Amino acid sequence: MAELQLIDLGMLLVVTSLVAMMSRRIGLPYTAGLVAAGIVLALLPIGVNLPLSRELVFNIFLPPLIFEAALQMPWRRLRAQLPLTVTLAFLGVAISAAFVAGGLHWLLGWSWLGAAFFGVLIAATDPVSVIAAFKEMRAEPRLGMVVESESLLNDGVAAVAFSILLVIAGGGELTPVAAVGALVWTVLGGLAAGAGVAFLLLKLAGRTDDHLVEITLTTIIAWGSFLLAEHVKASGVFAALAAGVIVGNLGWRRAISDNGRGHVLGFWEYAAFLANSLLFLMIGSHEAHQPLALVSGALAVVIILTLLGRAAAVYPIALLFRGTALRLPATYQHVLLWGGLRGAVGLALALAVPASVPEQRQIIVLAFGVVAFSIFLQGLTMPPLLRRWKLTGKDTSADEAP
């Protein structure tokens, strides 16, 4: 069995390499190519086993992806955009989730609990999909910062809302005060876990200039902060985000040696590439087995609701910042709408919906449908839209009025 799994892993690594080479040659977004490859693998008679679960996504794949993205974020630029991205993440998720949930209840007759579960898990843009796509498209620095940081933050918001719904689905009672307390703990507890682990191990890293030890310690920081936060019911995403920002901004100056910096960055670039590749192959494999034709009418409704819910969040929030230095040009707003991709996080949460929810099976199938739409239609059309709106290369956001 173990030998077979190693063979499967070797085959997947070959496939990811071929897809990467072909995608760059023909100009196809890498994530879309991986999902397509996963679908093909699932339909072949060789029977490659690609498991996908919430635990696998959250405990194995998310830590390196979030940490590596945060590692590259300059703190000054991230801090400058925080009022905007925090508003988009917290208020935006609430607006989008409420819009989608209401639509599912009134248009499709779903129970409020099932509609709320789906609204929450689909409202947050997926950091895995967004970061991979915008890095590949080389979006403008400010645009990339806003979209990527918002996707990292709103995932944590969706996770705590999902946890609250799990309590309700389990028959528990939750007061507004308890709900707010859970939200605060999820955010602050995650940030504290990430900062605590990062500072502690960076202090240790400062005692060596061995790049292998430095890589090992940053690996412990990434997974250790994430898993510690999840263990204490806080946000692992916020933990990995905080840890990555600290290592990427303080670690280079105080702990990681000049010789080790290139080795550390190279390791994390490869770790993110590997996690990204395997994750999207798994998504494609599971897409192939979803009975989407049976819910085609409902899927069309859900896709429209998801886009309208995102629009109901993005455009009004952009108006709030219209007269400030954080104003969003019209093209940025359109990118936030159409470039708000869904992916692994939404699927992981869908797979965790309890069986007691009447629409559980529909939630899973429709979540896969929305992700397929997001990756293929939205993902494939974003590069030409960015080029048409001249949003690649240097940051020219100040040149365009909202």
pLDDT tens column, 186-226: 889 999 999 999 999 999 988 888 999 999 999 999 999 99
Instruction: From residue 201, give the alpha-carbon distance in Å to each of 158, 222, 261.
Output: 29, 11, 16
Token pair recorded at residue 302: 């859900």
Distance separating alpha carbons of residues 326 and 146, to the nearest angstrom: 10
Token pair recorded at residue 27: 């100009």
Q: Which of 108-122, 250-264, 311-325 has the lowest mean pLDDT?
A: 250-264
Distance separating alpha carbons of residues 63 and 34, to the nearest angstrom: 20
Q: Which of 35-49, 140-154, 229-243 has the lowest mean pLDDT?
A: 35-49
DSSP for 281-296 reads HHHHHHHTT--GGGGH
pLDDT value for 302: 95
- 263 closest CA partner among 211, 208, 218: 211
Contact (Cβ atoms closer than 8 angstroms) between residue 251 and residue 311: no
Mean pLDDT of 348-368: 91
How many beta carbons lie within 10 A of that of residue 392, not counting itself? 14
pTM, to two decimals: 0.86
E strands, 109-204, are none
Q: Which of 39-53, 95-109, 258-272, 277-291 has the lowest mean pLDDT?
A: 39-53
pLDDT value for 293: 63
Distance separating alpha carbons of residues 128 and 57, to the nearest angstrom: 10
Instruction: From residue 218, give the alpha-carbon distance in Å to each of 144, 191, 239, 250, 328.
Output: 24, 17, 13, 13, 35
Residue type at 283?
I
Distance separating alpha carbons of residues 264 and 255, to the nearest angstrom: 12
